[in-house]
Amino acid sequence: MSLLFDFIQRGGLLMLPIVLCSIIGLAIFIDRSVRLRRSARANAAFLDQIRGNIRVGKIEDSLEICKSSQSPIAAVFAAGLRRVGDGEAATRQAIEDAGRKETAELEKHLGGLATIAGGAPLLGFLGTVLGMIGAFQTVERLGGNVNASVLAGGIWQALLTTAAGLAVAVPAFFAHNFLYDRIQSQVHAMEERSRELMLLLVTGDESIL
- Residue 122 pLDDT > 70: yes
- Contact criterion met (CB below 8 Å) for 15 and 165: no
Q: Where are the alpha helices (DSSP H) in 68-147?
A: 72-82, 88-106, 110-141
Pick from 18, 16, 8: nearest CA to 172: 18
Q: Is the pLDDT of residue 204 over 90?
A: no
- Looking at 1-5, 108-112, 124-128, 160-164, which range is the least confident one? 1-5
Q: How far apart are CA 74 and CA 89, in angstroms?
A: 20
Is 182 in contact with 36 (CB distance < 8 Å)? yes
In contact, 21 and 120? CB cutoff 8 Å: yes
Mean per-residue pLDDT over the chain, rounded: 85
Sign of CA dihedral 143, 146, 148, 149: negative
SS3 content of the chain, % helix, strand, coil (to 5): 85, 0, 15
Give the pLDDT band of residue 136 (cuts 50, 70, 90).
confident
pLDDT at 56 over 60: no
pLDDT exceeds cutoff 70 at 115:
yes
Most confident of 2-11, 84-93, 138-147, 193-202: 84-93
User: Which CA distances in Å does 12 have to 9, 163, 201?
Assistant: 6, 13, 63
Whether the pLDDT of residue 170 is over 90: the answer is yes
| CA 186 – CA 137 distance, rounded (Å) | 55
6 vs 199, more confident: 199
| Per-residue model confidence (pLDDT) at position 114 | 96
Average pLDDT score over residue span 125-139: 83
User: Which pTM does this prediction carry?
Assistant: 0.83
Find all residues with CB under 8 Å of 120, minimum gap 6, and list them.
18, 21, 22, 165, 166, 168, 169, 172
Domain boundaries, the chain: 2-116+173-203
* Exposure string over 172-184, b if 16+ CB within 10 A, otherwise e: bbebbeebeebbe
Question: In degrees rounded to 5, what are phi and psi of residue 102?
Answer: -70, -35
Give percent of the chain with pLDDT exceeding 90. Answer: 44
pLDDT value of residue 112:
95
Q: What is the mean pLDDT of residues 192-207?
A: 76
